[in-house]
Chains A and B, each alone.
Chain A
Amino acid sequence: MTLAEKILARHAGLASVKAGQIVMAKVDLAFGTDVTTALSVEVFHRMGAEKVFDTHKLALVNDHFVPAKDVQAAALSKAMREFAQEQGITNYFEVGRSGICHSLLPDKGLVFPGDLIVGADSHTCTYGALGAFATGIGSTDLACAWALGELWFRVPESIKVVVEGRFGPNVGAKDLILKLINILTVDGALYQALEFTGSSIRNMSMDGRITVCNMAIEAGAKTGLIAPDETTWDFIRGVNPARLISNPASLDLDSDPDAVYSQVVHIDLDSLTPLVAEPYLPSNVRPIKEVTGIKVDQVVIGSCTNGRLEDFQVAAAIMQDRPVHPGVRLLLIPATPQILIALIESGLAARFVKAGATLSPPTCGPCIGGHMGVLAKGEVGLFTTNRNFRGRNGHPESKVYLSGPQVAAATAVKGVIADPNEI
């Protein structure tokens, strides 16, 4: 079996499953956000459910429209807050102690290798970075999971992505996943799992793995997965030592040698350059050389894709002491309070603000076109986020280019899309 099949089989109480099979499987975590939970609460009650299946296996995260962008958004958070109180949900995350769910939940120790996780947010696939099978669902599915503790899943075929070689200067995890989406296109992995392997994945930090698995959905995938290794267990040791086990190998979280894949894709990092996805699809990927010089009004570094500490460190290293270009607004959105604290304590926050950037509280904000930096008609943005669909980040006639933090930092300094290796 593949890793995806193994995790689903275990949670379905079956010895084995095959791609294409539909199973009912028990979930370890079923979470919602301020933008999806209020509807789940309404549906939960309509289902006639009274108590959630396990008050410790839910997480309710304020992240999309917080701090409340308007009265309606405040009402959405209020509905979630009241449900958390009514049900006694232990993992309710209030503004100030909350962050972007896909960064927050791993850091809170709520993701464990081999877990089956569902969340009412499409980027739930991120947790595959820790070897969990995690996938996005809608609000009605989430209510079902809360009521029953289980949900139906179609066992996905897996595409094996073998990554070898080393990143060149100013090339990183975002460039790798943009390259893969360019190869597969936006539906090339539809209904399937992406399993990332190879020496370069083994050598990649957890922050990099989170970036890679986060965008699996942009190729249509149900989840992205990386089998747990020493990097994974080191991460777990830091966030949830109580759940550490003495013999991780006994969990058997590796695909079998005879596992069946629908496709194998090889990516060689040695030949990768910084990449940018042009509007209006994340698969419209171009080498940086083909897009330099395009004037940009706003640069955003943040989101569940690239809002981790490493992303800001990379950006700071490229900016050095250079100011933000006068024609550009640079918005930095650390994904969690912990990352915000690290930026403050390391002095990076002050450096960025002195350079002319502004620092936002943790939120999805402009990535979903909610608040904290949406674009006006005709404006151009370069964001480290995950989607550049028409109207996603503001006015339908605005445009967003997607990149990693390296190109974003170079662009913020130059005022036009710039190659981080040539500034």
Chain B
Amino acid sequence: MPYEVLRGSVFRYGDSVDTDVIIPARYCTSFHAAELAPHCLEDLDPTFVKRVSAGDIIVAGYNFGCGSSRENAPIAIKGAGVACVIARSFARIFYRNSINIGLPILSAPEAVDGLNEGDIVEVEPGTGAIRNITRGGVWTADAFPAEIQSIIRAGGLVEYVQKRLASR
């Protein structure tokens, strides 16, 4: 992920937000962001899509993205304009999928304690820095392992594989 600064409003949810509520299977006959995004989180928070603006940030509890392996879930979140997800922890397939498609995700339990619905937050995905602009507070997210950073630096898994194939 580039060393840019993301800035947006917090949309706060609880633990174990599963991929079925992120994007129900009834919409998973498509994998295109434009078709998925209008239904993002509709079974959990029907108002989310109406309220979210480009650049906003989802903050959630433990085990975000649990359940199905559907990549449609991070695609829907990214397509809805969400710039980043901060959670106490991520389910492992969602974690991989997000890195692979270039949706910034940060695991930062203390930051989750300090971010309320509607707060303006600044995030530097490159360094893991998280700042609550509304009420103060600065945190650093858990660092990605070096191997994962190399995928992120390549621009995502597609670019990583392109480079590997080109070097053959």
Residues of A within 8 A of B (CB): 22, 35-36, 38-39, 42-43, 46-49, 65, 69-70, 72-73, 75-76, 120-122, 124, 136-141, 143-144, 147-148, 152, 154, 186-187, 190-191, 220, 222, 281, 368-370, 387, 389-392, 396
Stretch at the interface among B3-11, B51-59, B89-97: B89-97
Closest to B16 in A: A186
A22 to B26, CA, bound (A): 35
A147 to B161, CA, bound (A): 8
Residue among A22, A75, A147, A389 making CB contact with B148, cutoff 8 Å: A22
CB-CB under 8 A from A220, the residues of chain B are: 63, 66, 91-92
Q: Say whether A148 contacts B20, CB under 8 Å.
A: no
Q: Counting CB contacts under 8 A, is B13 at the interface?
A: no
Closest 5 A/B residue pairs (Cβ): A72-B29, A138-B97, A187-B63, A391-B43, A140-B100
Closest to A22 in B: B147
Q: Say whether B165 contacts A147, CB under 8 Å.
A: yes
Q: Say whether A120 contacts B161, CB under 8 Å.
A: no
Q: How many chain B residues have a CB neighbour from A under 8 Å?
A: 43
A414 to B67, CA, bound (A): 31
- Listed by A's residue number, 11 A-B pairs whose Cβ atoms lie within 8 Å are A22-B145, A38-B31, A39-B71, A42-B31, A138-B97, A144-B160, A144-B161, A154-B145, A387-B20, A391-B43, A392-B24
Residue among B30, B43, B97, B162 making CB contact with A47, cutoff 8 Å: B162
Q: Say whether B66 contacts A186, CB under 8 Å.
A: yes
CB-CB under 8 A from B20, the residues of chain A are: 369, 387, 389-392
A389 to B20, CA, bound (A): 7
Closest to A119 in B: B69
Q: Say whether A122 contacts B16, CB under 8 Å.
A: no
Q: Say whether B66 contacts A144, CB under 8 Å.
A: no
CB-CB under 8 A from A46, the residues of chain B are: 158
Q: Say whether A47 contacts B161, CB under 8 Å.
A: yes
Q: Say whether B89 contacts A137, CB under 8 Å.
A: no
B8-36 vs A, CB cutoff 8 Å, 1 = contact: the mask equals 00000001101011001110111100000
CB-CB under 8 A from B161, the residues of chain A are: 47-49, 143-144, 147-148
Closest to B32 in A: A39
Q: Which of A43, A49, A73, A138 has the most CB of B within 10 A?
A: A138
CB-CB under 8 A from B63, the residues of chain A are: 186-187, 190, 220
